[in-house]
Amino acid sequence: MDMVVTGSVIAAVVLALCVWLYLRFMRSQDDGRDDRFGPERILSAEQVAMLDYLQDTFPGQVVLPNVSLANMLSVRRAGNKAAAKQRLKEHRVDFVVCAPDGRPTFAFDIEQYHLSNAEAKAQRVKAKNRILKTAGVRFLFLKNGIHRMPSPAEFRAQLNLVELPKPKAAPAPAPVERDSVIKDLESQMSTLDDRYANSAYRDSEVMGLSGLMSLEDELAAPKSRQDPRRYDGGSFDVRGGR
């Protein structure tokens, strides 16, 4: 009787081992031909509508959605480059507009009001704006619906007033002058930290659409009526900083 039980146990173990080996072999032979997939939503309906709107605002230019700052900026100077690169990874923007050379010129977030952690989110937004400004990329907020936006032509005309200055391209360096040219280029790039666009708007502030739309009237007003503090945070709201 014991022999029968022992034989049955051994047979069961051998059978289980054979099944396990067979399944493992079949999995190793899986080439994925039987896999099936379904599409996931990349953009919301509101983002699709806003993307179409921005493409009408910037005809012939590339507009990209959901871009990480790490994919659009590089560290040109930092006390700790590893930490600076990590900070880039912590932020992203809803839309980026690229110049003909492929470099970003404008970055946008769709406004999102938060009732919790407002102060922390405001700090993230300011940090993101500061990073983009040092690269010469203007950061603005868009209304959360194209029905609240001006016409594409009007919006583009307003944006032209606040585009950040870009550094002049350095001449091609001669091999013996490479170090000197690099220093000159770095000096030109560093001016972005202090230069301002031709407007009363302070580059260090985050601009919302209301401030942008009133800027043209502000510039057209007599100098005695212009108030340089008008855009000092007045158009900034605590919104979805990522």
Strand pairing report for 92-98 and 104-110: antiparallel
Per-residue model confidence as pLDDT tens digits over 154-183: 999 999 888 887 655 555 555 545 566 556
Residues 146, 169 within the same domain: yes
Per-residue model confidence as pLDDT tens digits over 98-150: 999 999 999 999 988 766 777 888 889 999 999 999 999 999 999 988 899 99
Please give the pLDDT value at position 113.
Answer: 72
The answer as to whether 106 is a domain residue is yes
Q: Tell me the residue range of the domain where 12 lies.
A: 1-32
Smallest Cα–Cα separation from 163: which of 46, 47, 242, 61?
Answer: 61
Residues 17, 72 within the same domain: no
Band (67; pLDDT cuts 50, 70, 90):
very high
The answer as to whether 38 is a domain residue is no
Structure tokens at 38: 């379904």
Structure tokens at 192: 């972005």
pLDDT above 90 coverage of the chain, percent: 38
Tell me the average pLDDT across 57-82: 94
Q: Is the pLDDT of residue 92 over 60?
A: yes
Residues 168, 105 within the same domain: yes
The answer as to whether 221 is a domain residue is yes
Residues 50, 99 within the same domain: yes
Across 144-158, b (16+ Cβ under 10 Å) vs e yields: eebeebbebeebeeb
Q: Is the pLDDT of residue 229 over 80?
A: no
Alpha-carbon span 171 to 14, nearest angstrom: 76
CB 54 within 8 A of CB 108: yes
Residues 92, 163 within the same domain: yes
